[in-house]
Structures are given as structure tokens and as C-alpha cells.
Amino acid sequence: MEVKQNTDMIPDDIREEMLKDKFYKKCCVSGRKDERIEWHHNLIYASKQIQEKFCILPLLKSVHRDIVKHKEKCDWIMLNRASEQQLTKYSKVINYRHKLKILNEKFGTYRE
């Protein structure tokens, strides 16, 4: 399995944490690791990709290529990984606490 690292975008300290974290070894949507894993910046805020670990998700290349189909599931995973402080920080235009509640009702309890 090859992991595509966005080394030009992700700060070194966060990238090093991600490389050590088992969460980033397989696709968080499919659970598979039989093709290349790419790191997807799932949160865009103020027209910028947010460089925080909770919102950078490991996806199979095929899932990443079809991200629109998987966006809701990615949001569910990302929001469940966020701290209350992070939800508050980014809940300006979109109420992420409310969105998390709706997605948890749809997808159930999140387990990493």
C-alpha cells in the first residue's frame, strides 16, 4: 500500500503525527488498504484547506477520486474526530454541532 503524502501542504509536525497514527493506514470510508491511500483535506474554511489532523482523512485513491459520492460520510467521520473546541472554532457559517447530530442520526455511532 502506498500513502500519498501532501508534503507541500501539511505542516511537518502534523504530517509526522499522521505517519505514526494507525488511523491513516487505511481508508476511513471503506476500511480497505489494498490500493494507494491519499490524504484528503475535508474541511475548507475561509477558502483554505484546514491543516488540522481531525479534518485530513485517509481515503483510497478510488474513493478520493469520487469524493462527491462520499462527502457526507467524510463529514461524519471528520466531525466525530473533532473536539468541541474545534467544532466551535469552525462553526461560523455552518453549525457543525447540528450537522454532527444529523449525521450521527443517519450513520450511527462513530467508531474509529
User: pLDDT digit string (tens) for 31-84?
Assistant: 999 999 999 999 999 899 999 999 999 999 999 999 999 999 999 999 999 999
Q: For the chain, which residues make up each domain, given as ranges?
A: 3-107
Neighbouring residues of 5: CB distance < 8 A, sequence distance ≥ 6:
15, 19, 39
**What's the whole-number mean pLDDT along residues 1-6?**
50
Residue with cell 480497505: 32
pLDDT of residue 5 exceeding 60 = no
Looking only at the bridges linking them, the beta strands covering 48-49 and 56-60 are: unpaired
Spatial contact of 17 and 53, defined as CB atoms under 8 Å apart = yes
Backbone dihedral region for residue 103 (phi beyond 0: left; psi -120 to 50: alpha; all else: beta): alpha
pTM score of the predicted model: 0.89
- Percent pLDDT > 70 in the chain is 93
